[in-house]
Chains A and B, each alone.
Chain A
């Protein structure tokens, strides 16, 4: 039973109340929001039923079938992430992201995000290490959920582009242009980034310029989202890298004075 038209009418007041103009940025943004929602319905169905099968709700399944279904599940998760990124970029470009900036102590949240990704690192035989001083109870000014998203994206990236060795998260305080910042460093021993590419990695859809052999999946929205979300809360991100040697990503967040 798909009744998108009547459902859209019921949602109208939650998007734009302005008169409809198919070329306006608001209309395009609303369209992407609805499109993302409609794409998520079949993804939710796939995720839900597959998870029930994998949890044994439909009876026991042969090991080989389980392996295959697990792959389908992971594929669907990638689609979910892709749709999220697409929607996030439109929100960013339309300045529709709302920041709730407060004083936060990010230490525990960093550990939480690391724990969530530990399994992924283990599957790749990568060591995920935390090198935060015990005194790292530093306080920053940030939107907590957006900070978590930025950190998670950078850490995921580090794991994705590292095939052996380690990813180390550390932190320190530094003065940049006279302002005190808490800097979170994510250093990996991965494939690194060429000097030429390093200048562009935070640009939207930079991956589209890469040759097929340079591609590692992804459409090149992740670091663009990281950069823009950081700017939105007066944080800074940058990277240093040596090709075939590894990369270091820096997230600098305004410290509480």
Chain B
């Protein structure tokens, strides 16, 4: 059976551990193999998180999404926070910051905001391909809009996915869930991705092989103290 990793879930900041417990129960029910929990919450302690998630038989990964508007800001944030989480992602609406982050070896993946399709252009796609850096696409925004807004969002997804497939960029599909009801089972992720134009083999790769590869590469970097 193919494994299913969701490398991006937000644990509510106000409810402390109740929310993580909810995520664990729902993730077990939806047969997820591993959870990547956003470590930016001030209530989040990776040690407790590891204990709770691993006790439930799931793999735990701490993850940090760095949001920056300018290159000096991202440099500063990376230097300060790189030891805080296992996976470092960059999430920005600034094309220049995105392109800079692609070069940096401390950044494990580039998270693309599907509401801002302008960020993900041919130039960035070529850079990502050259540096073999994976792109993360989240599907939770699709549940938050309806009607014409969803049509526009779907169009953005089509364009982004078309570019990813054309340039053969490594892809990760995560939920980006802010609530337990935004998590999905593997087959449901495949159904959503199918509508967006992704073939099933690519989806399986994006939810099982590539996340494992990223974690392994990161652990190797830590072992070598890079």
| A and B are partners in one complex rather than unrelated chains | no
Chain A interface residues toward B at CB < 8 A: none
